[in-house]
Chains A and B, each alone.
Chain A
Amino acid sequence: MRRAELIMATLMAAFSLYTMWKSAELEIGWIPSEGPGGGAFPFWLAVGMFICCMLIFIRQFRQADEPINSLKNYMDRQTFVLFALVAGSLTITIGLIDFVGVYVAIPLFMIFYLRVIGDHRWLLTGTIATATPLLLFFFFEIALKITLPKGVTEPMFYPLYSMFL
């Protein structure tokens, strides 16, 4: 746990410094007759973030009752595998949406999740993987008129557009 705390505090401190630097692209001081500059609000908040990270880091560093290299209590092996599978499949799905669109990426995700992580039967997997994109299409594209990203599959939808829209 302690190691995770130290790593997180360091990463967030780095992000705070980056935010301070980005805020300073605008005026962070007082502009006469205009008030505080555009960068002042985020700059001083980022300073606050940095101080918090330092406090968390110092407090954890001084706590000697847990070995420094312990990550055991943070995430055990089983949790890590599950987390990596879920987070990884989500990342790949969102990445795929850019290329092949929602209507290919989402069924693939459903099949992976239900079959590999959930260990469900093919019949159930197939039903849900087919029903989800259908429901998405009719609810979002037809009812809400929100066009979902389709990537290279876009031309395949032209007949559907002319039928329903």
Chain B
Amino acid sequence: MEIATLLLDGFFLAFEPLNLLLIIGGVVLGLFIGAMPGLGSVNGVAILLPMTYLVPPTSAVIFLGAIYYGAMYGGAISSIMLGIPGASTAVATTFDGRPMALKGEADKALVAAATASFVGGSISVVLFTLFAPPLADVALAFSAPEEFALMLLAFATFVGLGGDDIPKTFFSIFIGLVFSAVGLDIISGEPRLIFMDLPGFFHGINFLVLAIGIYGIGEMLWTIETTKGKVKISQAHITVQRILDTLISLKNGIKVMIMGSFLGYFVGILPAAGATPGALMAYGVAKGMSKDPESFGKGNTNGVLAPEAANNAASTGSMLPMLTLGIPGSPTTAILLGGMVIWGLDPGPMLFVEHKEFVWGLIASLYAANFFAVIINLAFIPAFLWVLRMPFTILAPIIFVLCIIGGYAPTQDMHDVWLMLVFGIVGYLMRKLDYPMAPAVLAIVLGPLAETSMRQSLLMSSGSFEIFFFRPISGSIMAIAITLLFMPLINSFNKTMRREISSWPL
């Protein structure tokens, strides 16, 4: 009952004229960002965060949350119409969405994607409302060792579940943490890691500089490379009647949508996993559940419904650990978390006590964003198709300019703009070699918290690492984290053993 009252208060906040305007504006912007090939929620949030200084912090987070939501819907549009995923989270949508478009069923695929996104969004936001308060209550009992154990768990999920090359994942985590340590030592106040004695490093490396470098400049360089060939846009004939017919036909896919929503939500909570693997897993399960698995990949509507429900649910799922524990569940929420810290809203369980209004306003705005996203998405499909025809050579320089200004705005120091360019170029060159970038962004955001909690814990225990293992909560979290860290080793050992056994003469 208390939740209902709090949520109602949240709705009052979300429906204040400015916030409502920002929700609708954010959703529209997010839909466009998501629809553009190569740009997803993380790019939109990273590039646009410095522009939100205009409004109060609560409204800024609501706006960015709405962009996040809109982008999740929009990602499907270019997956279906161009065959290029609008963002990595919509990769699985191309598998069946593109064949449907090529068969002349583009409208059906678009409506299916929007509907599934709505179902995924709705189920996940309800789950979020139910899970967030109890989790925050538990987290209130956490002190430094538990906090450190949680950070380690967040990094361990990248190693155990991220699916990327292991040494490269570790490298990405380490370098992100090192960048977070630049500036002044948090305890003694001495200057630390002032590379080449440049004075610009005294104020540390702002996480936005790395995020805009990688997700703005780096991503653009990547997209310029991948889309240099001509892209072919499919034709879609959309009428109200056809939309209604499609909606009715989707009732057969309800089971798939619900499965995708639950799967996506729970995968989304894990820091390394998030929307992309969530969507791919949901696609796999939908194929497994189907009586006709051969039709997948050839234009089966369920192949669009499952990943789209899952990626939207995952985006809400990833907000759960961010708000309740202060550990982001995805690169986008990592940037949101960094933004909240700038605005003086420390994410974590105390947020539910000290800034109740904000938390419930944000949750209510997710309900609202979900509602507006589906309406705007369906109503303006032709407008999004028009955007897809815009040459990338017009879009790219505009985004570059936004990156330059976005890199300058937070600290108003040209040093940061240069640093952003270096991160963008080096990040692009490393990404071509399959170095994962998300762990570094997560690490630079979590770094200061991880270092403080580790040093405080070690002070408490006079330097003994036992403190992390002999407290019930931190001990259990550490056990899971260590298992995840060793998962790749266990897997490769298993594989070798199996190969050995199968080569034995019987």
Alpha-carbon distance between A95 and B404 when the two chains are bound, in angstroms: 12
Cβ–Cβ < 8 Å partners of A34 in chain B: 187, 459
Cβ–Cβ < 8 Å partners of A147 in chain B: 412
A120 touches B401 (CB 8 A): no
Most buried by B among A19, A97, A98: A19
Closest chain B residue, CB of each to CB of A118:
B393
The stretch among A62-70, A81-89, A152-160 that forms the contact with chain B is A81-89
Annotate B188-208 by CB proximity to A: 1 below 8 A, 0 otherwise. Answer: 101011110000000000000
Cβ–Cβ < 8 Å partners of A124 in chain B: 394
B167 touches A109 (CB 8 A): no
Alpha-carbon distance between A134 and B290 when the two chains are bound, in angstroms: 55
Asked if B244 is at the interface (CB within 8 A of a chain A CB), the reply is no
B414 touches A78 (CB 8 A): no
B458 touches A36 (CB 8 A): yes
List A26-70 residues whose CB lies under 8 Å from chain B: 26, 30, 34-36, 38-39, 41-42, 45-46, 48-49, 52-53, 55-56, 59
Closest chain B residue, CB of each to CB of A40:
B455
Cβ–Cβ < 8 Å partners of A38 in chain B: 185, 187-188, 190, 192
Cβ–Cβ < 8 Å partners of A59 in chain B: 167
Asked if B221 is at the interface (CB within 8 A of a chain A CB), the reply is yes
Cβ–Cβ < 8 Å partners of B433 in chain A: 1, 4-5, 8, 74
B193 touches A19 (CB 8 A): yes
Closest chain B residue, CB of each to CB of A111:
B397
Asked if A143 is at the interface (CB within 8 A of a chain B CB), the reply is yes
Closest-CB distance, A129 to chain B (whole angstroms): 9
Alpha-carbon distance between A36 and B454 when the two chains are bound, in angstroms: 9
Alpha-carbon distance between A79 and B221 when the two chains are bound, in angstroms: 10
A102 touches B170 (CB 8 A): no
A22 touches B394 (CB 8 A): no
Cβ–Cβ < 8 Å partners of A146 in chain B: 53, 409, 412
Take A5-B433, A36-B455 as given contacts and tell me if A118 and B168 are in contact as well, using a CB distance cutoff of 8 Å.
Answer: no
Cβ–Cβ < 8 Å partners of A86 in chain B: 220-221, 224, 396
Binding site for A on B (CB under 8 A): 51, 53-54, 167-168, 170-171, 174-175, 177-178, 181, 185, 187-188, 190, 192-195, 217, 220-221, 224-225, 228, 391, 393-394, 396-398, 400-401, 404-405, 408-409, 412, 414, 417-418, 421, 425, 428-430, 432-433, 435, 451, 454-455, 458-459, 463
Can you list 16 A-B contacts (CB < 8 A)? A4-B433, A5-B433, A22-B194, A23-B181, A38-B187, A45-B174, A45-B177, A90-B217, A110-B397, A113-B393, A128-B397, A132-B398, A144-B53, A144-B409, A148-B408, A149-B408
A45-B177, A97-B404, A114-B397 given; 13 more Cβ-contact pairs under 8 Å: A8-B430, A18-B195, A38-B185, A42-B178, A46-B174, A83-B224, A83-B225, A86-B224, A87-B221, A106-B404, A109-B401, A120-B393, A146-B409
- 4 tightest Cβ-Cβ pairs between the two chains A and B: A118-B393, A38-B185, A113-B397, A52-B171
